[in-house]
Amino acid sequence: MKQANRVSDVIKKEPDNVLWSLYLIRLENGHLYTGISTDIKRRFSEHQTSKGAKYLRGKKNLKLIFNQTIGDRSTALKIEAKIKKLSKPDKEKLISGTIKLQKLLDL
C-alpha cells in the first residue's frame, strides 16, 4: 500500500463548480448558530439528529432561519468568520432582511 507523502495526496479536491452556502440556525433558547455547507438540507438534518457540530448536539427545536449561496469554500469560510463576530442585533437584521449581507460585511 502506497503511503501519502504530501498533504495534497490525502486532501480530496472538490470540483470547481461546487457552491457553498452560509446558514443560520436558531436554537430554542434564542441563540444563533452560523455554519457553511454545500448541502444545507443534509447539514441541517445532521444537526437535528445530533450528528453535526458539537455545539448543537442534544439541542431540540432547531430552526433553519437563514441561508444564502456564497460561492467557493474560501469565500464562504471568510464570510462565516465575519458573521460569527457580528453582534446578535446585526445578525437579526440579516435574518429579517432589513440589511443585506454585502452591506453588513462591507464587501
Q: What is the pLDDT of residues 81-96, one digit of tens each?
A: 999 999 999 999 999 9
The pTM for the full model equals: 0.81
Report the C-alpha gap between 47 and 43 in whole angstroms. Answer: 6
Report the C-alpha gap between 106 and 34 in whole angstroms. Answer: 19
Span 7-18, average pLDDT: 59
Tell which residue, 34, 19, 43, has the closest CA to residue 82. 34
Q: What is the pLDDT of residue 7?
A: 45
Q: What is the pLDDT of residues 68-84, one digit of tens each?
A: 999 999 999 999 999 99
Residue 84 DSSP code = H
- What dihedral do alpha carbons 31, 56, 76, 24 form, nearest 10°? -40
Say if residue 41's pLDDT is above 50. yes
Residue 55 DSSP code = G
Q: What is the pLDDT of residue 16?
A: 67
- Return the CATH number of 14-105, one of 2.40.128, 1.10.3470, 3.40.1440, 2.30.30: 3.40.1440
